Amino acid sequence: MVNVAIIGASGYTGVELARILCNHKQIKLTAATSRQYANQPLGQVFPNLRKMTNLVCENLTTDELCASADFFFTAVPHKTAMNIVPDLLAAGKKVVDLSADFRLRDVSVYEQWYQPHSAAEFLKEAVYGLPELYRKEIRTARLIANPGCYPTSIILGLAPLLKAGCIEPQSIIADSKSGTSGAGRSAQVGSLFCEVADGFRAYKVGGTHRHTPEIEQEINAFLPEPVQISFTPHLLPISRGILSTVYAQLKPGIQHADIQHCYDQMYALEPFIRLLPEDTFPATQYVRGSNFCDIGFKVDTRTNRVIILSAIDNIVKGAAGQAVHNMNLMCGFDETAGLESAPFFP
Amino acid sequence: MVNVAIIGASGYTGVELARILCNHKQIKLTAATSRQYANQPLGQVFPNLRKMTNLVCENLTTDELCASADFFFTAVPHKTAMNIVPDLLAAGKKVVDLSADFRLRDVSVYEQWYQPHSAAEFLKEAVYGLPELYRKEIRTARLIANPGCYPTSIILGLAPLLKAGCIEPQSIIADSKSGTSGAGRSAQVGSLFCEVADGFRAYKVGGTHRHTPEIEQEINAFLPEPVQISFTPHLLPISRGILSTVYAQLKPGIQHADIQHCYDQMYALEPFIRLLPEDTFPATQYVRGSNFCDIGFKVDTRTNRVIILSAIDNIVKGAAGQAVHNMNLMCGFDETAGLESAPFFP
Amino acid sequence: MVNVAIIGASGYTGVELARILCNHKQIKLTAATSRQYANQPLGQVFPNLRKMTNLVCENLTTDELCASADFFFTAVPHKTAMNIVPDLLAAGKKVVDLSADFRLRDVSVYEQWYQPHSAAEFLKEAVYGLPELYRKEIRTARLIANPGCYPTSIILGLAPLLKAGCIEPQSIIADSKSGTSGAGRSAQVGSLFCEVADGFRAYKVGGTHRHTPEIEQEINAFLPEPVQISFTPHLLPISRGILSTVYAQLKPGIQHADIQHCYDQMYALEPFIRLLPEDTFPATQYVRGSNFCDIGFKVDTRTNRVIILSAIDNIVKGAAGQAVHNMNLMCGFDETAGLESAPFFP
Amino acid sequence: MVNVAIIGASGYTGVELARILCNHKQIKLTAATSRQYANQPLGQVFPNLRKMTNLVCENLTTDELCASADFFFTAVPHKTAMNIVPDLLAAGKKVVDLSADFRLRDVSVYEQWYQPHSAAEFLKEAVYGLPELYRKEIRTARLIANPGCYPTSIILGLAPLLKAGCIEPQSIIADSKSGTSGAGRSAQVGSLFCEVADGFRAYKVGGTHRHTPEIEQEINAFLPEPVQISFTPHLLPISRGILSTVYAQLKPGIQHADIQHCYDQMYALEPFIRLLPEDTFPATQYVRGSNFCDIGFKVDTRTNRVIILSAIDNIVKGAAGQAVHNMNLMCGFDETAGLESAPFFP
Q: Which tens digits make up the pLDDT trace of C83-135?
A: 999 999 999 999 999 999 999 999 999 999 999 999 999 999 999 999 999 99
Residue B174 Cα, gap to closest chain A Cα (Å): 24
Q: Tell me the C-alpha distance between B6 and B22, whole Å.
A: 12
Of D228, D281, D300, nearest to A207 by CB-CB distance is D300
Chains in touch with D (3+ beta-carbon pairs under 8 Å) read: A, B, C
> Which burial class, exposed, middle or buried, applies to B153 when counting CB atoms under 10 A from its CB (0-12, 13-18, 19+)?
buried
Contact across the interface for D192 and B194, Cβ inside 8 Å: no
Q: Which residues, in sequence order, are CB contacts of A121 under 8 Å at separation 6+?
A: none
- Interchain contact D188–B (C-beta under 8 A): yes
Burial letters A37-57, b for 16+ CB under 10 A, else e: beeebbbebbbbbbbbbebbb
pLDDT digits (tens, 9 = 90+) for A127-165: 999 999 999 999 999 999 999 999 999 999 999 999 999
Sort out which chain B residues have CB atoms less than 8 A from D237's CB and list them.
193, 197
Stretch A234-251: mean pLDDT: 98
Indicate where chain A has its CATH 3.40.50.720 domain(s): 2-125
Complex ipTM: 0.97
pLDDT at C247: 98
Q: Beta strands B57-58 and C173-178: pairing type?
A: unpaired
pLDDT digits (tens, 9 = 90+) for D179-236: 999 999 999 999 999 999 999 999 999 999 999 999 999 999 999 999 999 999 999 9
CATH architecture, range D2-125? 3-Layer(aba) Sandwich (3.40)
Contact across the interface for A346 and D197, Cβ inside 8 Å: yes
pLDDT digits (tens, 9 = 90+) for B124-167: 999 999 999 999 999 999 999 999 999 999 999 999 999 999 99
- Interchain contact B265–A (C-beta under 8 A): no
pLDDT at A286: 98
The full DSSP string for B48-110 is: GGTTT---BEE---HHHHHHH-SEEEE-S-TTTHHHHHHHHHHTT-EEEE-SSTTT-S-HHHH
Question: What's the predicted TM-score (pTM) here?
Answer: 0.98
- CA–CA–CA angle B5, B8, B13 (5° rounding): 95
- Interchain contact B103–A (C-beta under 8 A): no
Of C66, C149, C166, C262, which is the active-site residue? Answer: C149
Sort out which chain A residues have CB atoms less than 8 A from B288's CB and list them.
48
Confidence of residue B117 (pLDDT cuts 50, 70, 90): very high
C149 is catalytic: yes
Indicate where chain A has its CATH 3.30.360.10 domain(s): 150-314
Helix, strand and coil percent figures for chain A, each rounded to 5: 35, 20, 40
Catalytic residue positions of D, numbered: 149
Confidence of residue B209 (pLDDT cuts 50, 70, 90): very high
Chains in touch with A (3+ beta-carbon pairs under 8 Å) read: B, C, D
pLDDT at C319: 98
Tell which of D10, D188, D192, D313 to mutate to test the B interface (max B CBs under 10 Å).
D192
pLDDT at A78: 96
pLDDT at C61: 95
pLDDT digits (tens, 9 = 90+) for A167-218: 999 999 999 999 999 999 999 999 999 999 999 999 999 999 999 999 999 9
pLDDT at A44: 97
pLDDT digits (tens, 9 = 90+) for D45-69: 999 999 999 999 999 999 999 999 9
Q: What percent of chain A has pLDDT over 90?
A: 100
Nearest CA in chain B to A14: B345
Tell which of D12, D36, D188, D193 to mutate to test the B interface (max B CBs under 10 Å).
D193
Confidence of residue D14 (pLDDT cuts 50, 70, 90): very high
Residue C144 Cα, gap to closest chain B Cα (Å): 29
Contact across the interface for A240 and B346, Cβ inside 8 Å: yes
pLDDT at D225: 96
- Interchain contact A185–C (C-beta under 8 A): yes
Q: Tell me the C-alpha distance between C269 and C264, whole Å.
A: 9
Q: Which of residues 143-182 of C touch A (CB under 8 A)?
A: 180-181
Does B150-314 carry CATH code 3.30.360.10?
A: yes
Of D180, D192, D238, nearest to B191 by CB-CB distance is D192
Sort out which chain D residues have CB atoms less than 8 A from B198's CB and list them.
239
Query: For A319, which DSSP code?
Result: I
Of A16, A240, A345, nearest to B46 by CB-CB distance is A345
pLDDT at B268: 97
Contact across the interface for A234 and D243, Cβ inside 8 Å: yes
Confidence of residue A274 (pLDDT cuts 50, 70, 90): very high
Nearest CA in chain B to D235: B193
Confidence of residue C260 (pLDDT cuts 50, 70, 90): very high
Residue C173 sits at φ, ψ, to 5 deg, of -130, 125
Distances (CA, A) of C81 to A35, C30, C102: 37, 20, 9
CB D12 within 8 A of CB D38: no
Of A181, A193, A238, nearest to C180 by CB-CB distance is A193
pLDDT at C332: 98
Confidence of residue B226 (pLDDT cuts 50, 70, 90): very high
pLDDT at D305: 98
Q: Which residues, in sequence order, are CB contacts of A73 under 8 Å at separation 6+?
A: A4, A5, A6, A7, A17, A95, A96, A98, A320, A323, A327
Stretch C47-52: mean pLDDT: 98
pLDDT at D315: 98
Nearest CA in chain A to C240: A194
Confidence of residue C324 (pLDDT cuts 50, 70, 90): very high
Contact across the interface for D206 and A288, Cβ inside 8 Å: no
pLDDT at A81: 97
Residue among B280, B279, B205, B196 at smallest CA distance from B239: B196
Tell which of D168, D300, D313 to mutate to test the A interface (max A CBs under 10 Å).
D300
Confidence of residue B302 (pLDDT cuts 50, 70, 90): very high
Residue B199 Cα, gap to closest chain C Cα (Å): 5
Q: Which residues, in sequence order, are CB contacts of C335 under 8 Å at separation 6+?
A: C131, C271, C325, C328, C329
Of C194, C283, C298, nearest to B200 by CB-CB distance is C283
pLDDT at C73: 98
CB D194 within 8 A of CB B315: no
